[in-house]
Every structure is written in structure tokens, then in C-alpha cells.
Chain A
Amino acid sequence: MKELNELILPEDVKFTDEHEWARVEGDHVRVGISDYAQDQLGDVVFVELPEVGSSFNKGDEFGTVESVKTVSEIYMPVSGEVVAINEELADHPEYVNTDPYGKGWMIEVAPSDLSEMDSLLDKNAYLKLLEEE
């Protein structure tokens, strides 16, 4: 397990209190799980993702991550329609562990209200949440 000061917490993403991250990329928002989440889960062996075209509200469960330890739900950081999913995770679930903010991304969303990003946690607020856990 990583110590808090070993965690990678990029400046260009925002976090949820359920440990997803969201990054604005043009008109879309890319979503994955944080370094803390992947570290807690352990080796990820399967990621279940929604179909492209499905729509969710902020906070809805959109998929599950299965590790050798447990199965965990993943929740939408913002409302919107799923416009792309990371197909590569089917063959390489380990990307969630090795590169959670890069090759381990999960879905791309066309947000229905981009201002929802403001309600998410920045690096410092997220770190504070982790300190309390």
C-alpha cells in the first residue's frame, strides 16, 4: 500500500469522494479511478464498462472494477452521455494499476452540464479527504 505522500495526484484532474477522477478534454470529460483507488483495490483483473451512447446522472453507477480482492462500483463524476470507452482495458486491465490517469482511463463523457466539474474536489481537497479516511 502506498503512503499518502507516494500517491500520484495530478493537478489537471478533479476527484470525487468515491475516488474517480475527471479531466476536461475539449468538449468532453474523461473519467477513470484515482491512484489511491487502484492501490486500495490491488491488481485489477476486469473492468466492466457501459455501452457507448448510454446516459447517466452524476453519482450513478456506470460500471464495476474487479480486482483479486474485491469488486467495486464506479460512479459518474458528472452527468452526460458516454461517447467512448477504453476498449483496451478488456485485454489490459492492468493499465488501471500502472497508469491510472493515462492508459487506464475508462470512459469519455459528453457532459450535460460542465459546471458540475466545479463541485468536484481538487488535489488538495481530495488529499484532505484521504487523510481523514
Chain B
Amino acid sequence: MKEPIGTTGLALNEPLIWEKGRKGRTGFSLPKRDVEHAPLDEALTGDGPDLPDLSEVDVVRHYTRLSQWNYGVDSGMYPLGSCTMKYNPKTHERQAALPGFASAHPLLPASLSQGILRMMATLQRFLGEITGLPAVTLQPAAGAHGELTGMMIVRAYHNDRGAPRHKILIPDTAHGTNPASSVLCGFSPVPVKSNERGVLAPETVAELMDEDTAGIMITNPNTLGLFEENIRKIADIVHGKGGLVYVDGANMNAMMGIVSMGNIGVDLMHLNLHKTFSTPHGGGGPGSGPVCARQDLAPFLPVPRVKEKDGTFHLSYDHPKSIGKVHAFYGNVGILIRAYSYILSMGPNLKKASQLAVLNANYVKEKLKDTFYLPYDRPCMHECVFTDKWQEAHKITTLDIAKRLIDYGFHPPTIYFPLVVHGAIMIEPTETESKETLDTFIASCKAIAEEAKESPELLREAPTKPKVRRMDETRAARHPQLAG
């Protein structure tokens, strides 16, 4: 391996911003007052917020220093499984900052918002085409919110048919938010076990599916990074009993332009624009979780909807079967602009992005399967899942391996998830990483596995290079200190 990318350097300490404040210091000058003092209604006055007095350079240094302690996708590879931490091209920021978008107020009338409404209508059409599910709402603010919106639509659909249903099938390889979203909608989740290949068997679904079950919530590809290869048969079984198939599209990065969800029996799904469509997330959010559905489910989608009539756009509210509003105004519009920019930049290469994401994950899987135990040895999609089984003999755990990767200059992968795999190490490289970066990552993992055998203390004490060492997560969880 060449010189490791992880190194040490001068990091600057920085106190809480309240400790930096000095009375009377300020970052800007107010223009000279040109009106007389006037008393304010007492109901509107009171103590101001507790903000420190700071100069501009105090603020700039504060946040610059904090950012230097941080690690982001702009610093290096961030293979956090299930999170699709792909690079966010800077052109998105440029488009989102265009004054026509950035300065638009949500209370402007439609006649003065034609550009932004056109962008939203076009994005809906793009997402409808990518998923094969043409009825689209852009309102939900993130993935779990998309799930909730989807489940509300499922409930509204069954209620509208005069036959409310009470259960929902959820595989053990689903995202943890799936059962929570369905419970919030009044459904009882029924767990479905995946088979020895790590996917759902149609027979298992057939045994559990009945006429009180509203449908199935299936993450595809699932959290093992495997494609639910029986989805078509499973959809037929669920439809046969009058249920709907909901797909958690959080892992859509494996399938853009490759799988039409509408064609494989999916009735509705959400997308995570902040993952698949390359908008900032993980502290840089907010997110966006549009829901795409079959055309005949359109009546149930949230209001308002962006509609076109004679070449002009408006927001329409008159949809009596709608589940109503799910977000103030119209969702996180700034994020929609970034996703729209991404789709236009990529064009037909969206498919290539998915192909490369899958290729990268399979490359890492093949190169590391003699280093870490691979519980499901078969082609994966956008991510692969290893475990610490071979390192257990040296009393080294997944956590130690993840912490040591920090010393090597990488963000650790997702660990201890999915729960169906003991000591999981879940790696999602995304299409962002070049072969050179992947090779450095692989060489680092191999070096760490050697260290686990030869000098396990290096792992137990890791990380040693960053500004802070291993955090006491236990104490933080048992005695959280939430005030500044």
C-alpha cells in the first residue's frame, strides 16, 4: 500500500461559541436610524435570545475550525452503507442559488412563480419516468416521511373501497423506519423472514398474506444489498388478495434506468432525493422523499398539486379523496432544484451511475471476501455486507475495525445493521469512487485485518489520529448533556 491517506496535523481547539462572546462586539453596522423611537406593544417584547456578541472573524473562525474537525464526502470516501453518500456536484448549488429560485417566497401567487412551478412539474415527470410510476408528489421532507405519506395513501385506498385493512407485511431486511411508519398509520406490522439466500420467498409471503392485510412494504434492493428477485411473484400474491406493494426506494441508486418499478408490480414507492439524486445530506440536509404511485392512486396523493393548464402552472387543491397536506407549502423546494439539476446534468448517464455503483460494490465485495466474512456470497447490488466473524478469535469486533478505518483516513461503514446479520459491516462505495480510491480502501481494510491478528491493541485503541479519540458512547447515551 502507498502512504496511507490518514495522517495527523495541527487541529485548533475551539470553545463553545457562547464562551467566545464579549459584550459589545459586533459583526455588522446598522445604518443610522432615520425615524423617531416608537414604543412597542409590551406583548411583543421580552428578553432577547441568549446569543453571544461576536465579530465576523470570530464567527468565521469558529465554523471553519469546527469544519476542520469534520469528515465529509468532500474530504474522502464515505462508504456508509444504506446512506448513499455520493458526491454532490457543485453545479447543483449554483442552480439552487439562482435568484429566481433562491429569492422566491412560498406565498407568492402562482402567476409570479411560473419558473419554480415548471421546474417542479418537470421533476415530477422525470421521477415518474425513472420509477415507471407516473403519479408523483414532491412534498414529503425525507425518506421516513415518504413512507408515512405512502402508508396514508394505502390506508386511504382501502378505506375508499369500503374495506379498511389492519395489517402490513414487513420483511426482516427492511429499513427500521418501515414498521414505525406503518404503526403511525394504524397498521400492525407482521414480520416476514427472509430465506437462506437473504431475500423473500414467495411461499412465505403467500402464507402470511390475507384479506385483512393492506399490503407489503419492501425495501428493494434490501438492506443486505440484495435484489428481491421474487418481487414479481410476490406482487402477484399480494395483489391476488387485494393488497398493495409499497417499495422503500432508499436503495434506488442501484436501479436508475435499469428497473421500472411500475413494471415489476410495485404500486407506490418513495425516493430519497438526498441519496440517489445527489443532494446534500447527513447534517447538510434537509432531505426530500417524493412518493411515486400508479396513476389510479393519484386521487389519494397530497394537495396542493402542481398542475399545468394551457401552458401556465398553478397549485390545485380540489381533490376530495386526497390525504391532505403533508408539509408546509410545498416540501423542501431547494432540494428539489438540486435533484432536478442532477437529473438534467446526467441525462441518460443516470443508468451508468447505477451500473457503476453496483460494479464498485461488487468489486469491494470480491476483493475483501477473503479478509472479512461474507455471509451471503452472491452478486450484490449497491452495497455489500461483511461481518467480524473471522476477527472474533482475536477479540476484535466490528466497532474496533470501524474505528481503525478512521485512522486510515476513511469514514467508517455502517455497522451493526442490518440486524439480521451479526456484527454487520455494511459498505456502500457509490459510483463516486474511482478504482484508485477503492483500491486504497481495500488495502486499508486488509492492513487492518492483519493488525487484528498481529497487534489487536492498535484496533482497540483506535482511532488515535483524529482530534478526538474513541468517544464514550455509553456515557453519552446514559447521561446525555443536551444544553450548549
Contacts and interface: CB of A to CB of B under 8 A. Distances in A.
9 contacts: A1-B392, A43-B473, A43-B474, A66-B477, A69-B399, A70-B416, A70-B419, A93-B478, A94-B478
Contacts of B473: 43, 68
Nearest to A2: B395
A93 B477 CA distance: 11
Contacts of B477: 43, 45-46, 66, 68
In the A-B complex, the 9 residue pairs with the smallest Cβ-Cβ separation, listed nearest first, are A45-B477, A43-B474, A69-B416, A68-B473, A45-B478, A68-B474, A70-B416, A68-B477, A93-B478
A5 B301 CA distance: 58
Contacts of A43: 473-474, 477
Contact of A1 (B395, B474, B478): B395
Contacts of A45: 474, 477-478
Interface in A19-34: none
Contacts of A68: 473-474, 477
A79 to B, nearest CB: 21
Contacts of B416: 69-70
B279 interface: no
A68 B477 CA distance: 7
B392 to A, nearest CB: 6
Interface string B458-484: 000000000000000110011000000
B397 interface: yes
Interface string B375-406: 00000000000000000100101010000000
A46 B416 CA distance: 18
Interface residues of A, number: 10
Contacts of A69: 399, 416
B396 to A, nearest CB: 10
B394 to A, nearest CB: 11
B335 to A, nearest CB: 30
A45 B478 CA distance: 5
Given A1-B392, A94-B474, 18 more contacts: A1-B395, A1-B397, A43-B474, A43-B477, A45-B474, A45-B477, A45-B478, A46-B477, A66-B477, A68-B473, A68-B474, A68-B477, A69-B399, A69-B416, A70-B416, A70-B419, A93-B478, A94-B478
Contacts of B474: 43, 45, 68, 94
Contacts of A1: 392, 395, 397
Nearest to B477: A45
Contacts of B399: 69
A45 B392 CA distance: 24
Interface in B240-285: none
Nearest to B176: A71
Nearest to A43: B474
Interface string A97-122: 00000000000000000000000000
Interface in B427-484: 473-474, 477-478
A68 B395 CA distance: 18
Nearest to B398: A69
Most buried by B among A69, A70, A93, A94: A69
A68 B419 CA distance: 14
Interface string A1-17: 10000000000000000
A83 to B, nearest CB: 27
